[in-house]
């Protein structure tokens, strides 16, 4: 009886190993994964479909998107664009409130800067593929460099647009897991501007507080002092500090720059915890 049980256990273990090997060897590649239509719309005799391989993706799993445009009219669709081997004129975007720019294109098309006549005959179609690696694009003005942050676990809209006929379609996908949501750039800026320390510094450097006209002379407050100038101050009176916003290491840094006079310019920084919105620190400095 014991030998029979041992044989059964060994058989089960061997079968599990074979199933695991089969799963690895025959896992579909990126190009073999099945796209399924998630939504379709018709605009100006143009049918546009948007497809994805899944509705829910794991963290860091590439999100694959396909858009297909079909001419369902009786006449050709004619437009001018770049060569067809480089350009489909279908753009695919991921929309996100987390992104500084709101949208990211995931199917960039590059080619010669020449225009040719393009035609899509009745019943013909065009296809464009895009992949989003779940990274949200940001730009660090201070370091003059771009950087990317893992998208939080949330729902995201995908849009596809066929420019020649303005055909448009959208769907949504979800990133699973438990990546926490961080507050948006706009929300971080609102929190910064709601602080009395920020408002006092910011308002003191608005245009109306930097210029004056006395006894037929113009004066401007530059580097902390009013000095006489020989030009009209209308443009300067509309001056306001510029704002830089940086998300890094779980914190938003909102940086105000009073760019008048000679460098180093006056700056005011506020650090905000990106996941809770808690104000962590203020710093006023005369350096860039």
Query: What would the pLDDT profile of 141-162 be if each residue is shown by its tens digit?
Result: 666 778 888 999 999 999 999 9
Of the candidates 33, 69, 68, 65, the one whose C-alpha atom is nearest the C-alpha of residue 52 is: 65
Is the same domain home to 141 and 223? no
Is the same domain home to 284 and 170? no
Residue 215 in domain: yes
Among 75-79, 208-212, 237-241, the range scoring the smallest mean pLDDT is 208-212
CATH of the domain at 95: 2.60.40.10
Residue 288 is predicted with a pLDDT of 41
Is the same domain home to 40 and 158? yes
* φ/ψ bin of 210: left (φ > 0), alpha (ψ from -120 to 50), beta (otherwise): alpha
Three-state DSSP at 175 gives strand
Residue 203 is predicted with a pLDDT of 87
Residue 244 in domain: yes
DSSP string of 225-270, one letter each residue: EEEEESS--TTGGG---EEEEEEETTEEEEEEEE--SSSSPEEEEE
> To 10 degrees, what angle do helices 185-193 and 196-203 make?
80
* φ/ψ bin of 175: left (φ > 0), alpha (ψ from -120 to 50), beta (otherwise): beta
The pTM of this model reads: 0.71
Burial of 45 (0-12, 13-18, 19+ CB in 10 A): middle
User: How many folded domains does the chain comprise?
Assistant: 3
Residue 24 is predicted with a pLDDT of 45
C-alpha dist (Å) from residue 29 to 38, 53, 195, 230, 254? 21, 12, 52, 70, 43
Among 58-62, 105-109, 225-229, 278-282, the range scoring the smallest mean pLDDT is 225-229
Mean pLDDT within 52-56? 96
pLDDT digits (tens, 9 = 90+) for 220-243: 776 667 777 766 566 666 778 889
C-alpha dist (Å) from residue 27 to 30, 48, 104, 266? 10, 30, 30, 58
Is the same domain home to 131 and 186? no
The rounded percent of the chain whose pLDDT value lies above 90 is 55
Is the same domain home to 124 and 188? no
Is the same domain home to 35 and 153? yes
Domain extent, residue 215, equals: 209-238
Is the same domain home to 164 and 140? yes
Residue 150 in domain: yes
Among 2-6, 45-49, 220-224, 258-262, the range scoring the smallest mean pLDDT is 2-6
Distance CA 255, CA 244 (A): 5
């Amino acid at each position: 009886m014991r030998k029979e049980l041992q044989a059964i256990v060994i058989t089960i273990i061997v079968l599990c190993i074979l199933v695991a090997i089969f799963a690895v060897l025959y896992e579909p590649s990126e190009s073999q994964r099945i796209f399924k239509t998630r939504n379709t719309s018709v605009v100006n005799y143009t049918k546009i479909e948007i497809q994805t391989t899944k509705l829910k993706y794991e963290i860091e799993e590439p999100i694959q998107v396909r858009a297909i445009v079909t001419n369902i009219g009786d006449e050709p669709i004619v437009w001018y664009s770049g060569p067809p081997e480089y350009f489909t004129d279908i753009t695919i975007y991921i929309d996100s409130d987390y992104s500084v720019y709101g949208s990211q294109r995931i199917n960039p098309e590059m080619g010669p800067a020449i225009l040719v006549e393009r035609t899509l005959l009745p019943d013909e179609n065009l296809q464009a593929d895009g992949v989003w690696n779940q990274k949200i694009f940001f730009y660090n003005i201070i370091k003059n460099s771009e950087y990317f942050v893992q998208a939080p676990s949330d729902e995201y809209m995908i849009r596809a647009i066929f420019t020649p006929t303005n055909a448009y379609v959208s769907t949504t996908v979800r990133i699973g897991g438990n990546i926490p949501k961080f507050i948006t750039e706009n929300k971080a800026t609102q929190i910064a501007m709601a602080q009395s320390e920020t408002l006092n510094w910011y308002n003191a450097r608005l245009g109306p507080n930097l210029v004056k006209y006395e006894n037929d002379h113009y004066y401007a407050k530059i580097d902390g002092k009013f000095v006489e100038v020989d030009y009209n101050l209308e443009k300067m009176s509309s001056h306001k500090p510029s704002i830089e916003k940086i998300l890094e290491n779980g914190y938003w840094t909102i940086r105000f720059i009073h760019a008048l006079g000679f460098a180093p310019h006056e700056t005011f920084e506020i650090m905000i915890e990106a996941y809770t919105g808690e104000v962590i620190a203020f710093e006023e400095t005369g350096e860039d």
